[in-house]
């Protein structure tokens, strides 16, 4: 397919009504979808931290940003109104790519750069299934945010390729986790080669998708994971938004900036779709989804910041899901309960692959959504929608076993540092081994409880006084220091991070390692949710002092959509609520027991 000139920069006009109308014709449904239909291309578009409270096609808050492109998608496709995800990034993405719940793929919370765990190699991903079934004939690409590995684990800079994608162009994790980097300066990885980009990230991600789609052999699968509108809250280039951002401040009033970021995503999504070859677009099924709810900083009344991203309340797990393209009904709503695990079998089916046949010995939690493409009024197949959050991410190794923490990128990295030892328990006690690789060297070991970097001795340490301790030590012949950590640094219920940095006092002067962060949090923590047609059941599990403590909540979402009143605290339940409580409670046990 020949490359075509297209508008990329500020002179691009907005998506004019005429273009929107022409695009709507391209997306018009052709026929009811069936298993015998020819494969279509699939474009999976993921918005990062976008809940249903932000989009006008759902039930938005009072200042929903304009999203004309998403609105056109909805007008020419099916809007799933009861779609659910995990409360944060990594678990949802892993579930989309495996068709499995977090307790199976072991990513229960957002990956941090210093973690020594990633999406397990044993998991079969969506691109791997497509390659296996088509003998490599279906081309696949991942564009944008990955967040299923780090630069040190899970395949390093080649992690998306190692996990099956033919092509990768994006950033391995959140933009801000690269130190001081942001939407205008970020680490750009293309098939294992890392550079620094100064192009606005949302624009760059659309550019990369267009470049790949222009030359991809049909049918193809493109996984386009925008970094927006995830923090850092930054105004996009002015030509990408129209919302009034007066008074917007990243720290004190981020909502106007967040709205501008959402509108900019919508504008760039429009540029992507209107720049595609019309014949290719006409043969492409577009799936638009949020990976979790709106961040608490951007939640506005009547939605509660306490029920936003990171929680299993509706504001944390209820996400937009829209499907448009050939063989999809136009302007319809589906009320069936669905979950992001359903995207795996849905996308494989659209590309002519039966996931369950290909993975006959693997438990898949997802179910294809294609029946609702032609008949959105079909009743739900699920009796519950299930979401969960847990910490820490683990490969199933017992929490008491030794582990290693790699560095987190603080300092200049002149000296390597790795910390290995027992997992920190709820009293903050452990024996840690610091491996610097520098034998018999006088050193300082800086230890701090902290949150923010602090310039120190030519690098960056992370203490906040008075929690700073310097230990003068000498490494052994293997370049190690063995240090017991005791004394209850983490009171029950209070999470801390312990930051450590190794400073070698040798010639030609001090050398600072990158920092190492160890989390003092009561492991494991679980928050699990089930929702049926009316009621929602939440079970929380905490381990404190080796004792497992469970708390339970039950809400009537018809009477109390914002989950303000826990029915279990209000006295006796009526017959319907009691039956729902028992059914939903057993539902969690049944799912986890599978």
544-577 residue pLDDT tens: 655 677 889 999 999 999 999 999 998 889 999 9
Lowest mean pLDDT among 70-79, 168-177, 238-247: 168-177
pLDDT at 476 (0 to 100)? 85
Judge whether residue 416 has pLDDT over 70.
Answer: no
Is pLDDT above 70 for 234? Answer: yes
Reported as a pLDDT band with limits 50, 70 and 90, residue 487 is: very low
Residue 408's CB: how many other CB atoms inside 10 A? 21
What pLDDT band is residue 490 in, cutting at 50, 70 and 90? very low
User: Which of the residue ranges 114-128, 271-285, 396-410, 558-572 would you say has the lowest mean pLDDT?
Assistant: 396-410
Mean pLDDT of 433-460: 63
Q: Comparing C-alpha atoms, which of 267, 266, 263, 257 is closest to residue 295?
A: 257
Q: Where are the alpha helices (DSSP H) in 33-138?
A: 68-75, 89-98, 102-105, 126-134
C-alpha to C-alpha distances, 481 to 407, 473, 505, nearest whole angstrom: 16, 8, 15
Per-residue pLDDT of 34-61, as tens digits, reads 555 789 999 999 999 999 999 999 977 7
**CB contact burial 290-328 (16+ within 10 A = b; e otherwise):** bbbbbbbbbbbeebbbebbbbbbbbbbbbbbbbbbbbbb
* pLDDT: which is higher, 451 or 90: 90
Higher-scoring residue by pLDDT: 157, 519: 157
Beta strands 139-145 and 167-171 are parallel
Contact of 136 with 129, CB cutoff 8 Å: no
Mean of all residue pLDDT scores within the chain: 83
Q: Determine the average pLDDT of the residues in 342-371.
A: 96
Contact 383/95 with Cβ under 8 angstroms?
A: no
pLDDT of residue 497: 56
The pLDDT of residue 17 is above 50: no
H or E element: which one contains 344?
Answer: helix 343-350
Q: Please check whether the two domains, 17-378 and 403-520, share a CATH topology.
A: no
pLDDT at 546: 58
Give yes or no for a contact between 125 and 166, defined as CB atoms under 8 angstroms apart. Answer: no
* Whether the predicted pLDDT of 70 surpasses 50: yes
Mean pLDDT across 354-371:
94
Burial class (CB in 10 A: 0-12, 13-18, 19+), 452: exposed
Residue 230 confidence (pLDDT): 96
Q: Coil, strand, or helix at residue 280?
A: helix
- Domain range list for the chain: 17-378, 403-520, 525-593
pLDDT on residue 293: 97
Burial 165-185 (b: 16+ CB within 10 A, else e): bbbbbbbbbbbbbbeebbbeb
pLDDT of residue 576: 92
Question: Does pLDDT of 32 surpass 60?
Answer: no
Over range 86-98, report the average pLDDT: 97
Which class is domain 17-378? alpha beta
418 confidence band (pLDDT: 50, 70, 90): low
Provide φ and ψ at 435, rounded to 5°.
Answer: -110, 105
CATH numeric code, 403-520: 2.60.40
Asked if the bond preceding 524 is cis, omega within 30° of 0, the reply is yes
Lowest mean pLDDT: which of 136-145, 178-187, 545-554?
Answer: 545-554
Whole-number pLDDT of residue 78: 98
- Percentage of the chain lying above the pLDDT 70 cut: 74
> How many Å apart are CA 523 and CA 448, to the nearest integer?
21
Cβ atoms of residues 408 and 113 within 8 Å: yes
Could you tell me which residue, 514 or 566, shows the higher pLDDT? 566
pLDDT at position 4 is 35
Number of H helices, E strands in the chain: 14, 25
Q: What is the mean pLDDT of residues 94-110?
A: 95
Q: How distant is the alpha carbon of residue 223 from its chain centre?
A: 13
In this predicted structure, what is the pLDDT of residue 112? 77
> 456-474, pLDDT tens digit by residue?
444 555 444 444 566 777 8
Residue 62: per-residue pLDDT: 82
pLDDT in tens, 334-353: 999 999 999 999 999 999 99
pLDDT at 594: 81
Backbone angles phi, psi at 218, to 5 degrees: -80, 145
């Amino acid at each position: 397919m020949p490359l075509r000139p297209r508008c990329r920069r500020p002179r691009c006009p907005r998506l004019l009504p005429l273009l929107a109308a022409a695009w709507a014709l391209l997306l018009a449904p052709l026929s009811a979808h069936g298993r015998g239909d020819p494969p279509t291309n699939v474009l999976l578009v993921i918005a990062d931290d976008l809940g249903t409270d932000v989009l006008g096609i759902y039930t938005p808050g009072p200042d929903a940003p304009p999203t004309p492109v998403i609105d056109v998608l909805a007008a020419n496709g099916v809007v799933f109104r009861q779609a659910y995800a995990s409360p944060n990034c990594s678990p949802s993405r892993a579930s989309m790519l495996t068709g499995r719940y977090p307790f199976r793929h072991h990513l229960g919370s957002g990956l941090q750069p210093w973690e020594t765990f990633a999406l397990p190699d044993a998991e079969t991903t969506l691109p791997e299934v497509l390659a296996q079934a088509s003998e490599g004939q279906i081309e696949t690409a991942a564009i944008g945010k990955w967040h299923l590995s780090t630069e040190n684990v899970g395949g390093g800079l080649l992690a998306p390729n190692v996990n099956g994608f033919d092509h990768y162009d994006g950033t391995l994790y959140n933009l801000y986790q690269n130190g001081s980097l942001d939407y205008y300066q970020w680490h750009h990885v293309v098939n294992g080669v890392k550079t620094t980009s100064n192009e606005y990230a949302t624009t760059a991600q659309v550019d990369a998708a267009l470049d790949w789609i222009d030359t991809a052999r049909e049918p193809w699968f493109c996984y386009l994971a925008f970094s927006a509108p995830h923090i850092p809250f930054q105004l996009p280039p002015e030509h990408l938004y129209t919302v009034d951002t007066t008074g917007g401040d990243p720290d004190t009033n981020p909502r106007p900036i967040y709205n501008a970021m959402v509108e900019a995503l919508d504008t760039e999504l429009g540029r992507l779709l209107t720049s595609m070859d019309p014949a290719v677009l006409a043969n492409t099924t577009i799936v638009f989804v949020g990976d979790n709810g709106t961040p608490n900083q951007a939640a506005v009344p009547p939605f509660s910041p306490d029920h936003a991203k990171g929680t299993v309340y509706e504001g944390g797990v209820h996400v937009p899901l829209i499907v448009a393209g050939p063989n999809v009904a136009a302007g319809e709503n589906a009320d069936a309960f669905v979950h992001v695990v359903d995207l795996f079998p849905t996308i494989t089916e659209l590309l002519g692959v039966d996931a369950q046949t290909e993975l006959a010995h693997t438990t898949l939690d997802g179910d294809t959504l294609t029946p609702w493409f032609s008949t959105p009024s079909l009743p739900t197949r699920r009796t519950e929608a299930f979401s969960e959050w847990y910490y820490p991410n683990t490969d199933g190794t017992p929490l008491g076993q030794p582990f290693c923490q790699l560095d987190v990128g603080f300092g200049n990295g002149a000296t390597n540092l790795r910390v290995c030892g027992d997992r920190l328990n709820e009293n903050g006690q452990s024996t840690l081994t610091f491996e610097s690789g520098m034998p018999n060297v006088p050193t300082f070991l800086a230890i701090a409880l902290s949150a923010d970097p602090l310039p120190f001795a030519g690098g960056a340490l992370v203490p906040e006084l008075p929690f700073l301790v310097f230990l003068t030590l000498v490494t052994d012949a293997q370049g190690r220091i063995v240090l017991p950590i005791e004394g209850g640094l983490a009171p029950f219920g209070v999470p801390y991070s312990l930051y450590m940095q190794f400073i070698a006092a040798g010639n030609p002067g001090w050398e600072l390692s990158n920092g190492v962060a160890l989390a003092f949090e009561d492991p494991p923590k679980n928050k699990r949710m089930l929702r049926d047609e009316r009621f929602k059941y939440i079970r929380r599990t905490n381990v404190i002092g080796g004792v497992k403590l469970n708390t339970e909540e039950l809400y009537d979402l018809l009477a109390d959509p914002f989950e303000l009143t826990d029915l279990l605290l209000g006295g006796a339940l009526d017959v319907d609520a009691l039956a729902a409580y028992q059914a939903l409670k057993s539902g969690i046990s049944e799912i986890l027991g599978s």
